Amino acid sequence: MVGMAGMSPVRLLTLGEGLTITFAADELSIFFMCITTLIWVLVGIYAIAYMKHEGGAGRFFFVYLMLYVVLLALDCSANLVTMYACYELMTLVSMLLVVHNRSREAIMATLKYLFYSLCGAYLGLFGIFYLNRYCVDLDFGSASRLDMGALAGHEQTLLIIVFFMLIGFGTKAGMFPLHGWLPAAHPVAPSPASAALSAIIVKSGVLATIRVVYNIVGADFLRGTWVQTAWMSLTLLTVFMGSMMAFREPVVKKRFAYSTVSQVSYILFGLSLLQEQAFTGSLLHVYFHAIIKCGLFLCAGVFLVVCNRKRVDELAGIGRKMPVMLWCYTCFALALVGIPPTSGFVSKWQLAVGALDADVGFFSWLGPVILLISALLTAGYLLPITMRGFFPGADDRCADLQKKEPPLLMLVPLLVLAALAVLLGVFPNGLLSVCQKLACLWL
């Protein structure tokens, strides 16, 4: 097997007949590695200043860099076995970021993160055992790896197995019903770790889902089945539920965590449609959500360490003290809502049009309706921070603060991310063409 990008595979270990630990970079690997590297660099710069307040900087950066290596290995996995090994290793390393401050709350959140992640991964492992019997091999390629001769008569069983795998790998992506770790882990982790979790770690579930559905099983095997219907239903339920929970949540980081639950399921919904334009929208949203949500969690870190503010109602008047930072936040908020010409509008437009063009019955109109409702709820839980931040009226909760922007090392990454959140919407064609080429590989 040769990676689709033309790079020869590197085999490190043979576990058994047809089971190897092998790495090879294809187009999808490079796509995910680019956004991982961008976020890791910007968050790392921000963390230099932030960790002076949090403490344990040496321990944090050691784990942070080790996790980056594991994520690159996950992106470059050449088969399901390698991907699963890297997936589990990513969980074990990333939990050290969640438990960083070693408080009782952090320990309990880490245990919850570990329990959910391992349960999801084991569902994936169960599916890998089964797929090994009915696939030509478990390598990632541009076509289905199913051995239709060996599979004959076992199609319904395989559908059940694939559904379990979707639930399992959807755990890391925050899909209902195994989404509960996200709102528990984010508030207790340092803000740079929360940014990395929300921007990149959850996308590992997206990557694993793409590999299983499009590289191994094949979209045609699932199209029109009950698995596709159930998958679409779960993603739309998660989109709506996450937005509602975020709307009701008063703690800033927890609100952003529920938002991640909702927004990552936009991506999964696009994948579940098994339609080219929707797939393109999902890949676009991988990048745009990573940039936007990373920026939002870094803003939450500024609220916490510079202003000592954890709750939304404590931020009234914050724009008078640090207007540049709050304008960055506003760019992220508008982009996540999907207001033109920001980046979020481009990906959500592709998802909505893809849903309308897909042959999925009433989901063709239900999907765009749920996405629109979610966008309205997103505006309801993000934009009031801007409005009350700049126009607090008599309820100025930040009047006692000194007028001061965050340190330069924290502000520069926010400015870069805010610029990307807007400019990638104004000039989307380069990234859009890349996503369209990837979509053409499997649809």
pTM: 0.94
Domain edges within the chain? 127-442
User: So what's the pLDDT on residue 123?
Assistant: 93
Separation between Cα atoms, residue 180 and residue 438, nearest integer Å? 31
User: So what's the pLDDT on residue 7?
Assistant: 64
Q: Are 375 and 337 in contact (CB under 8 A)?
A: yes
User: So what's the pLDDT on residue 2?
Assistant: 40
Question: Which residues of the chain are under the pLDDT cut of 70?
Answer: 1-7
Separation between Cα atoms, residue 412 and residue 340, nearest integer Å? 24
Query: Across the strands, what pairs with 61?
Result: none
CA angle 30, 36, 7 (to 5 degrees): 20
Based on the number of CB atoms within 10 Å of its own CB, is 107 exposed (0-12), middle (13-18) or buried (19 or more)?
Answer: middle
User: So what's the pLDDT on residue 404?
Assistant: 83
DSSP secondary structure letter of residue 406: P
User: So what's the pLDDT on residue 179?
Assistant: 87
